[in-house]
Amino acid sequence: MKKLLLAAVLMASATLFAQSPFDGTWMTKLDTAKFPTKPDKYSLSNNMYECLTCVPKIAVKADGDDQKVTGHPYYDTIAVHVVNASSVEIVEKKDGKVMYTDTATVSADGNTMTDKFTDTTETKPVTGEVTSARVSAGAAGSHAMSGAWRTSKVDSVSSNGLTVTYQGTTDGLKMSDPNGESYDAKFDGKDYPIAGDPGHTMVSLKRIGADTIEETDKREGKVVGVNHMTVSKDGKSIHVVYSDKLHGTTTTVTMEKQS
């Protein structure tokens, strides 16, 4: 009888410990996002396209054909097609599979650029639209997209690109999204794989407090980002601060609990 009672107590304790304020499905609220002030820089001139703030930088022919690039975890070729004087289509592939398509269109006054994208890196495509404001002009005679641009608004993203589900475990946290990515990591500082991620990202978790977790993302042993997540006192939202270590930028956003 005592053994049965002890077993019941231990099981109840494990269940309570596994419960986490992060448990549930959460959706990113685009209107809460604060974007980096550091601009993205591009150059498109003389049939050559350059992404000057990409890591590593990209410099390829803008002839619409697949051009080989190295050092990018989600693509190994990029094709740049100049649609007209104000619009450019960019297609990224990995092992021949289309991973990302973006059509960038500059407004008539040259001060705004709209990117319509389709991200197919996971099992389900994520679509969206982003608006950027011009910071500085490109070289004289270059394409309208040349210059420096700062993200001002994410106009839309399909719901599967905004949703994530967390589940606490006795010594860690599980994550999954609708597109096939997931992890099951412990609060031990060790690296755990993100299943379904073609970029082969690894995560390590640190529990800062009962309501705060720090997630560190790595590729090939190098830290590429740190995600600091804090659940609100009422348990209805998560405040996220993401530090992009490759680009030296910070983005903040709020996720709201759905269930």
CATH code, 219: 2.40.128.20
pLDDT tier, 253 (very low <50, low <70, confident <90, very high otherwise): very high
pLDDT of amino acid 19: 74
53 has pLDDT over 60: yes
The H or E element spanning position 11 is helix 2-18
Asked whether residue 10 is domain-assigned, the answer is: no
Please check the confidence at residue 249 and state whether its pLDDT lies above 60. yes
Distance from first CA to last CA of the chain, Å, rounded?
A: 39
Which pLDDT tens digit goes with each residue over 119-150? 999 999 999 999 999 999 999 999 999 999 99
Establish if 1 belongs to a structural domain: no
Assess whether pLDDT exceeds 80 at residue 12.
Answer: no
Q: Do 114 and 94 fall into the same domain?
A: yes
Is 131 inside a domain boundary?
yes
Give the model's pLDDT for residue 43. Answer: 98
Query: How confident is the model at residue 82, as a pLDDT?
Result: 98
Residue 5 in any domain: the answer is no
**Domain count within the chain:** 2
Domain for residue 6, yes or no? no
Provide the domain limits for residue 132: 40-157
Q: Indicate the average pLDDT of the chain.
A: 93
With beta carbons less than 8 A apart as the criterion, state whether 18 and 169 touch. yes
Q: Name the percent of the chain lying above pLDDT 70.
A: 93
Asked if the model's pLDDT at residue 218 lies above 80, the reply is yes
- Are 182 and 195 in contact, with CB atoms under 8 Å apart? yes
> Are 103 and 87 in contact, with CB atoms under 8 Å apart?
yes
172 Cα distance to chain centroid: 22
6, pLDDT greater than 50 = no
Q: Are residues 122 and 178 in the same domain?
A: no
Q: Are 178 and 124 in contact (CB under 8 A)?
A: yes
Please give the average per-residue pLDDT across 80-99, as a whole number.
Answer: 98
